[in-house]
């Protein structure tokens, strides 16, 4: 169905559902103490692309993405793990409660994903609401001999109890030096490579929960292990995240999850590469953080950012610039103008070759640059009827997610958000003679205030009067 680069295997592999029916995907989500920057958004797009090509192949896909509202340490390079976490520190800075802060930035995260046409996950479990799952997981690791209670009554994972540790990142326990990871020289630990599963809280610590080992809070890595096992079970087809999470987060998560169950749980680990902006890594300390709101403030369509992301493969480093975003915005607007023009021509069959080449490119390790090149050739192809170009672009937008038909038939206000994608999906359903889906999508469009009619040259839409 799909070929992706497996970080642990160090090669491109065939990816599909282990049970032949349902592709189960876990994607690391945000720590909700600030706005997601465009580098974060590129990583979140990866899961959307996987889901789109899987569903185009008629494979049912379940995606779970965590919301970390029990923050990481304020300084992830610090040795002292008793310090304040990021959520609490930012809540104090903004004069909010930790819960109010987390809900605010969680809502902003969902708005950003919607603006980029990233389809929602099937579940967004919150760390703060999953503490019992984490406590149970820690207890199981203790029972199996993979964890121990330290001198301060905190619980640690015994790294040397998992012999294959390091297969994702290439880091070997024997090569790790004290201080190279969070909590590196904690005297309560037996080995400097061990990490916290449950940290016993001090008297002044906020966000504390009861446990068999005393009041405390979970370690960062245990959150994803507990939530992925609970929501997806003991066999997960695909685990996604940014390349910065390979070590220590995904190494530790893999060790915890597999040790708790007794076998390898995640079949494939796939990572998106770093994003630079104007040649520099994005960091708050350098003032080089770009948000989606910054893109919109320049008058650019948020989906121009999605198009700019698609211009590079997910596992290659991308140096994004304002010039590239402006070029993507012009391309997107040109294609929508072409679609409006092509929509006036007689309807024609999709271009089968272009459709096959785009789908093959997506299937081949998400080669989105090659897929975009097919669209550019099709746009200029003199031998392809305009009606065929319209149907092909509309059909393939289910993979690109760029709202190609947003301006089609527009003589007044723009389509409501998400309506363009529904129109594209309905055009695809009509082409496949899936009348049930076509009717369902018509109803969804009507709920958004978009009335759709079918003509001999294709579907037409108008906005309902208010």
Q: What is the pLDDT of residue 326?
A: 96
Average pLDDT over residues 349-368: 97
> How sure is the predictor about 108, in pLDDT bands with cuts at 50, 70 and 90?
very high
Query: For 13-34, how does the pLDDT look when each residue is reduced to its tens digit (9 = 90+)?
Result: 999 999 999 999 999 999 999 9
Other beta carbons within 10 Å of 337: 12
Q: How many CA atoms lie within 13 A of 172 on its CB side?
A: 2
197-206, 324-333, 375-384, 387-396: least confident range = 197-206
Decide if 121 contacts 217 (C-beta within 8 A): no
Other beta carbons within 10 Å of 160: 14
Query: For 109-138, how does the pLDDT look when each residue is reduced to its tens digit (9 = 90+)?
Result: 999 999 999 999 999 999 999 999 999 999
pTM of the model: 0.84
How far apart CA 252 and CA 232 sit, in angstroms, is 19
Q: What is the pLDDT of residue 78?
A: 42
Q: Which residues, 6+ apart, have CB-to-CB distance to 200 below 8 Å? A: 152, 153, 154, 213, 214, 215, 216
Query: For 397-445, how does the pLDDT look when each residue is reduced to its tens digit (9 = 90+)?
Result: 999 999 999 866 544 456 677 777 788 778 777 767 788 888 888 888 8
Q: What is the pLDDT of residue 461?
A: 77
Query: For 291-343, how does the pLDDT look when each residue is reduced to its tens digit (9 = 90+)?
Result: 999 999 999 999 999 999 999 999 999 999 999 999 999 999 999 999 999 99
The strand pair at 22-27 and 60-65 is best described as: parallel
Mean pLDDT over the full length of the chain: 89
Other beta carbons within 10 Å of 150: 19
Q: What is the pLDDT of residue 286?
A: 75
Is residue 381 predicted with pLDDT exceeding 80?
Answer: yes
Q: What is the pLDDT of residue 414?
A: 62
Other beta carbons within 10 Å of 262: 9
Residue 310, H or E segment: helix 302-310
DSSP helix/strand/coil, 109: helix
Q: What is the pLDDT of residue 168?
A: 97
> How sure is the predictor about 178, in pLDDT bands with cuts at 50, 70 and 90?
low
Looking at per-residue pLDDT, the higher value among 242 and 425 belongs to 242
Is residue 233 predicted with pLDDT exceeding 60?
Answer: yes
> How sure is the predictor about 80, in pLDDT bands with cuts at 50, 70 and 90?
very low
DSSP helix/strand/coil, 53: helix
Nearest CA to 191 out of 152, 139, 148, 223 is that of 148
3-state DSSP helix/strand/coil % of the chain, to nearest 5: 45, 20, 40
Average pLDDT over residues 213-237: 95
Looking at per-residue pLDDT, the higher value among 459 and 84 belongs to 459
How far apart CA 275 and CA 306 sit, in angstroms, is 13
How far apart CA 294 and CA 107 sit, in angstroms, is 18
């Amino acid at each position: 169905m799909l070929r992706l680069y497996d970080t642990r295997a160090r090669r491109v592999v065939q990816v599909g559902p282990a049970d032949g029916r349902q592709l189960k995907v876990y994607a690391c989500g945000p720590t909700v103490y600030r706005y997601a920057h465009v580098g974060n958004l590129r990583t979140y797009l990866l899961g959307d692309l996987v889901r789109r090509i899987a569903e185009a192949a008629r494979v049912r896909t379940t995606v779970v993405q965590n919301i970390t509202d029990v923050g990481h340490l304020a300084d992830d390079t610090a040795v002292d793990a008793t310090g304040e976490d990021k959520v609490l520190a930012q809540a104090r800075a903004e004069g909010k409660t930790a819960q109010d802060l987390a809900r605010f930035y969680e809502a902003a995260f969902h708005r950003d994903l919607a603006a980029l046409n990233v389809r929602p996950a099937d579940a967004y479990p919150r760390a703060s609401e999953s503490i019992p799952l984490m406590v149970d997981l820690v207890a199981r690791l203790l029972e199996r001999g993979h964890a121990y209670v330290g001198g301060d009554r905190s619980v640690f994972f015994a790294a040397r109890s998992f012999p294959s540790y390091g297969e994702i990142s290439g880091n070997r326990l024997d090569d790790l030096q004290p201080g190279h990871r969070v909590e590196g020289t904690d005297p309560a630990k037996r080995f400097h490579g061990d990490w916290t599963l449950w940290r016993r809280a001090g008297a002044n610590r906020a966000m504390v929960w009861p446990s068999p080992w005393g009041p405390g809070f979970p370690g960062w890595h245990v959150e994803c292990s507990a939530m992925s096992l609970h929501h997806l079970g003991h066999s997960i087809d695909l685990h996604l995240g940014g390349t910065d999470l390979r070590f220590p987060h995904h190494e530790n998560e893999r060790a915890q999850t597999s040790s708790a169950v007794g076998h390898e749980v995640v079949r494939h680990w796939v990572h998106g590469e770093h994003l630079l902006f104007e040649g520099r890594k994005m960091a708050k300390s350098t003032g080089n953080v770009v948000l989606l709101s910054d893109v919109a403030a320049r008058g650019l369509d948020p989906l121009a950012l999605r198009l700019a992301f698609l211009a590079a493969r997910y596992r290659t480093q991308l140096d994004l610039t304002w010039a590239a975003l402006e070029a993507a915005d012009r391309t997107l607007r040109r294609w929508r103008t072409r679609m409006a023009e092509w929509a006036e021509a007689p309807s024609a069959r999709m271009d089968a070759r272009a459709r096959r080449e785009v789908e093959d490119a997506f299937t081949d390790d998400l080669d989105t640059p090659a897929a975009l090149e097919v669209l550019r050739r099709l746009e200029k192809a003199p031998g392809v009827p305009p009606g065929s170009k319209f149907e092909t672009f509309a059909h393939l937008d289910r993979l690109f997610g760029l709202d190609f038909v947003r301006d089609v038939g527009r003589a007044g206000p723009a389509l409501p958000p998400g309506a363009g994608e529904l129109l594209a999906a309905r055009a695809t359903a009509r082409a496949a003679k899936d009348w049930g889906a076509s009717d369902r999508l018509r109803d969804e469009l009507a709920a958004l205030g978009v009335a759709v009619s079918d003509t001999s040259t294709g579907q037409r839409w108008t906005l309902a009067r208010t």
